[in-house]
Structure 1
Amino acid sequence: MNRKKIIQGVGISMLFLLVSACGVPKLTQKEVNKEIPASYNSSRDTLNSATINWKEFFTDPHLNRLIDTALANNQELNIILQELQITKNEVQAKKGEYLPFVGLRGGAGFEKSGRYTRNGAVEESLNIKDEKTMPDPLPDYMLSAYATWEIDIWHKLRNSKKAAVMNYLSSVEGKNFMTTNLIAELANSYYELLALDNQLDIVQRNVAIQTNALRIVRLQKEATRVTSLAVRKFEAEVFHTRSLQYEIQQEITEKENRINFLVGHFPQHVERSNKNFDTLIPKKIHTGLPAQLLENRPDIKQAELELSAAKLNIKVAKARFYPSLGISAGIGFQAFDPSYLLKTPESLLYSLAGDLTAPLINRNAIKAAYSSANAKQIQAVYNYERSILKAYIEVANQLAKIDNLEKSYNLKAQEVEALTKSINIANDLFKSARADYMEVLLTQRDALESKFELVETKKNQLNALVDMYQALGGGWN
């Protein structure tokens, strides 16, 4: 008879399983496309500057000290490190879900049953002799251990834990991507600060040149060789150039404070190199092969891990359609008198039970979760493909920019040299009355603007170098 009941129970359970499994919706998943061009141009150089440590890539000791400080003190990076710890804790929590839960339970209380209830009638029937009457109210003391365990038949809990691990590793890559961006922004800000210093020096030298020219014009005015209009024009030019100093000084203050913010300092002077900015030569950078971006770029690796987590979440969501098997057990002591609590076997209690549960009707919430998990997987595929495309385009843009800026800088250097010589020519012609004062003023202004543009181009060259290092995925390792 017992065997027949067991067979019936198994049959009912199998029917339960079939009914649950038949209702899983069929959803189409999207496969990722990892195709990427074989090279950026005709070059197939396998050397990749992204593998160089930032301490070797950047040679300025002042910049390296700033980066070291930023990696320790930057608030945004430290916030991400705490988020990393949170995701690590989630992994630990998920790991514990597919292990048995064991606990201790103890309790004490009493119960007064009504006479005309089932328990009250039983107690009344047992009160045969006065000396053996049931206590009223009836005390109850218990001390026991219990355990519950969900058998992970469909790997729902294990896949959930694996997805948590993928999310944790994705967070690690997110931290690496943040590190790369922080180093790049700090390096760019440092080079911009050097450029501003250089522009301020150019302005100050031009103020001295224009002040000397103003002195000459005033002497010529006294000799009635020029009118007061020429004097006023030269004075206005000096005032204009001197006003540029304060604009640049304000930009220097803001740039220094931006650097201080990145390194976690309150406003203070930023130590920097004193050597001439125009002598800085951008390094030769090696782009390697586009396929190396998949390993070097933290944002691509982050997107790949997010995709893996999304695939596992689909399996977790799908497993919710199937029955879950839980086992519960307990063992302990229970008695109405504390003096009997540890007497065995009279006070001994134990239990063992298995539960098989499965959703049958109104599974809309489970279907919606499954559909959402599938949509997030498709979303993760597009995000991964977008990350690859974005990385390739960033490298291609910087590669073209470095080449074009090098050509532009060479031409602008020639322009500065020509305009610098033209200042002396214009001054000589003005002294001999063969050129008017406007030609001198325009020549000086053109020379000043060309020197500013040359410094700007040099800054752009250095920024392009940093941006290429960032685009290749360098800086985080």
Structure 2
Amino acid sequence: MYKLKLNRYTVLLAVTLAAAGCKVPEAAAPAANQPVPESFAGSRDTTNSSVLPWKSFFKDPYLTDLIDTALKNNQELMVTLQDIEIAKNDIRMRKSALLPSVGLRAGAELEKVGRYTSQGAGDASTEIYEGKEVPDPLANFTLAATANWEIDIWKKLRNAKKAAISRYLSSVEGKNFVLTNLIAEVANSYYELQSLDTQLDIVHQNIKLQKNALEIVKVQKQAMRATELAVQKFRAEVLSSQSKEFDILQQIKEEENNLNLLLGRYPQEIKRDKGDFLTLQPMAINSGIPAQLLANRPDIKQAELELAAAKLDVKVARAEFYPSLDISAAVGLEAFKPSYLFKLPKSLLYSLAGDLAGPLVNRNAIKAEFNSANARQLQSMFNYQRILLNAYMEVSTQLSKIDNLGKSYDLRSQQVDALNTSISVSNDLFKSARADYFEVMMTQRDALETKLDLVETKKAQFNAVVNVYKQLGGGWR
């Protein structure tokens, strides 16, 4: 059997469909991107710390070991890697749509039509006589290869494949963005632990100092130079500091658990440098120029690729307005008896058909999909612009923060030195009865709070540097 559905009526229908498909809505043109500023705070230096691998940026061996563990075990990162596999499989699926779909078909059927039907009355083979070759009921056995192929006239399938590739590359950049954030989270948590260790040491030193003052005021009470009020006030200060000690121990435990969660493991002690945190110096940072953000920040590149995919989706949706050409073919063997199935050429069957079809009257569904694709394209454009603007703002804010924290730390250091001196002076004056217990107590309290604030400022310096490194796009290389 040979069948070719392509005659003058089909050609006339094709012309009609093509004419109907010509009137398609235009895609809304996204607004042009605003150019990024030329520099951060007037600096034109193109040296950029984000190009440094994280193992070169972070020098602490304990920290680098923790980051390495997190990159192997973090569950969020594992989830993101599966997103990449999903996107990769989508590309394979889109590629296969460009190729013919070929299959094998084997079938058997049995049909008995009524004698007094239009088919039965017109079929002479239904007459019963000796040695007939056509049985009744009539069986049919088929063994054939079939193929179906949509000809990609309007590049609909190719654009769909390109969109899938863009989304795959976007998922890779999404993984890089997770890497950057994960490394920054581990580093900030590590510095939080170091700052808490230092705060705990300061509280221990303060408790020792307060206990010494308590013993002095007890002696002075026995000598009638102080009152029970002074003794109780100093005892209350000691108890307050001891309570603060357990608050800090709880914060350390919580931060260790948070860090272990990032590392993908159950709670255990975090190995770290427990030296004097205040003597450490934050890593030097070079911001480069804003234009480098486009190449270095994974979230910007991810948004750019999503925008490219959204633009291709609009082209795919637009192609739905045009006629589509499908070709189907089959070749194989067919007979009403299995013994006749391989008697060639009488049992040979083949067919070839071409179908040209397109929307003519009711195109509302196609219009709705096109409008949705166009809206998603605009969403992607606005999202890209938002991420780019946010990236510049983040870096600018953190660079300013680094500068101001440096100045603040210098002043707080001088304040701590002055209060340390005032503690010695107040103790000497108290022993000689030239200062009362309240002045000594307030001086010790001010010194403790200022030292803890100094540690917080040092931690904020490290956090700001880590955040700039992340916001410049560092860590994923």
TM-score range relative to shorter protein: over 0.9
CA distance in 2 between partners of 1:367 and 1:119 (Å): 45
1:419 match = 419
CA distance in 2 between partners of 1:216 and 1:183 (Å): 50
Matches of residues 225-244 of structure 1 in structure 2 within 5 Å?
225-244=225-244
CA distance in 1 between partners of 2:28 and 2:446 (Å): 65
CA distance in 1 between partners of 2:27 and 2:334 (Å): 53
Cα distance change on mapping 1:84 and 1:187 into 2, 3 Å: same
Cα distance change on mapping 1:342 and 1:433 into 2, 3 Å: same
1:251 match = 251
Superposed displacement of residue 125, structure 1? 5.0
CA distance in 1 between partners of 2:321 and 2:415 (Å): 74
The amino acid of 2:162's aligned partner reads K
Matches of residues 252-401 of structure 1 in structure 2 within 5 Å?
252-401=252-401
2:48 match = 48
RMSD: 1.3
The amino acid of 1:396's aligned partner reads S
The amino acid of 1:470's aligned partner reads K
Q: Secondary structure at the match of 1:327?
A: strand
Deviation sequence 1:336-361 (CA, Å, 0-9, x none): 11111011111100000000000111
The amino acid of 1:200's aligned partner reads L
Deviation sequence 1:88-126 (CA, Å, 0-9, x none): 111111111111000000011211111122332243356
Cα distance change on mapping 1:119 and 1:8 into 2, 3 Å: closer
CA distance in 1 between partners of 2:313 and 2:34 (Å): 22
CA distance in 2 between partners of 1:261 and 1:380 (Å): 33
The answer to whether the 8 Å contact 1:100/1:148 transfers is: yes
Superposed displacement of residue 443, structure 1? 0.3
Superposed displacement of residue 189, structure 1? 0.6
Q: Is 1:20 aligned to 2:12, yes or no?
A: no
1:451 match = 451
The answer to whether the 8 Å contact 2:195/2:277 transfers is: yes
Q: Is 1:150 aligned to 2:155, yes or no?
A: no
Superposed displacement of residue 129, structure 1? 4.3
Q: Is 1:37 aligned to 2:37, yes or no?
A: yes
Cα distance change on mapping 1:140 and 1:6 into 2, 3 Å: closer
1:10 match = 11
Q: Is 1:74 aligned to 2:51, yes or no?
A: no
Deviation sequence 1:412-456 (CA, Å, 0-9, x none): 000000000100100000000000000000000000001001000
Unaligned runs of 5+ in 2: 1-5
CA distance in 2 between partners of 1:126 and 1:190 (Å): 90
2:3 match = none
The amino acid of 2:13's aligned partner reads I
1:167 match = 167
Deviation sequence 1:147-184 (CA, Å, 0-9, x none): 00000000001101110111111111111111111111
Cα distance change on mapping 1:65 and 1:266 into 2, 3 Å: same
CA distance in 2 between partners of 1:8 and 1:199 (Å): 88
Moved over 4 A (4+): 5-8
CA distance in 2 between partners of 1:231 and 1:288 (Å): 59
Superposed displacement of residue 133, structure 1? 5.4
Deviation sequence 1:386-411 (CA, Å, 0-9, x none): 11100000010011000000000000
CA distance in 2 between partners of 1:67 and 1:48 (Å): 22
2:106 match = 106
Q: Which moved more, 1:188-197 or 1:132-141?
A: 132-141
Superposed displacement of residue 32, structure 1? 3.4
The answer to whether the 8 Å contact 2:197/2:274 transfers is: no
2:177 match = 177
Q: Is 1:123 aligned to 2:155, yes or no?
A: no
Superposed displacement of residue 275, structure 1? 2.0
CA distance in 1 between partners of 2:388 and 2:203 (Å): 44
Please give the TM-score of this superposition, normalised by the length of structure 1. Answer: 0.97
CA distance in 1 between partners of 2:451 and 2:136 (Å): 103
CA distance in 2 between partners of 1:43 and 1:155 (Å): 47
The answer to whether the 8 Å contact 2:153/2:324 transfers is: yes
Aligned residues: 472
Q: Secondary structure at the match of 1:135?
A: coil
Unaligned runs of 5+ in 1: none
CA distance in 1 between partners of 2:227 and 2:13 (Å): 113
The answer to whether the 8 Å contact 1:148/1:329 transfers is: yes
The answer to whether the 8 Å contact 1:127/1:133 transfers is: no
1:96 match = 96
CA distance in 1 between partners of 2:297 and 2:26 (Å): 35
The answer to whether the 8 Å contact 1:52/1:474 transfers is: yes
The answer to whether the 8 Å contact 1:419/1:443 transfers is: yes
Please give the TM-score of this superposition, normalised by the length of structure 2. Answer: 0.97
Superposed displacement of residue 6, structure 1? 4.4
1:196 match = 196
1:140 match = 140
Deviation sequence 1:213-233 (CA, Å, 0-9, x none): 111111111111111111111
Q: Secondary structure at the match of 1:180?
A: helix
Superposed displacement of residue 11, structure 1? 3.7
The answer to whether the 8 Å contact 1:123/1:134 transfers is: no
2:214 match = 214
Q: Secondary structure at the match of 1:59?
A: coil
Percent identity, aligned pairs only, is 58
CA distance in 2 between partners of 1:300 and 1:466 (Å): 19
The amino acid of 1:204's aligned partner reads H
CA distance in 1 between partners of 2:283 and 2:140 (Å): 83
CA distance in 2 between partners of 1:452 and 1:324 (Å): 72
Superposed displacement of residue 247, structure 1? 0.2
Deviation sequence 1:204-262 (CA, Å, 0-9, x none): 01111111111111111111111111111110110011110000000000000000000
CA distance in 2 between partners of 1:19 and 1:67 (Å): 60
CA distance in 1 between partners of 2:251 and 2:212 (Å): 27
CA distance in 2 between partners of 1:122 and 1:338 (Å): 26
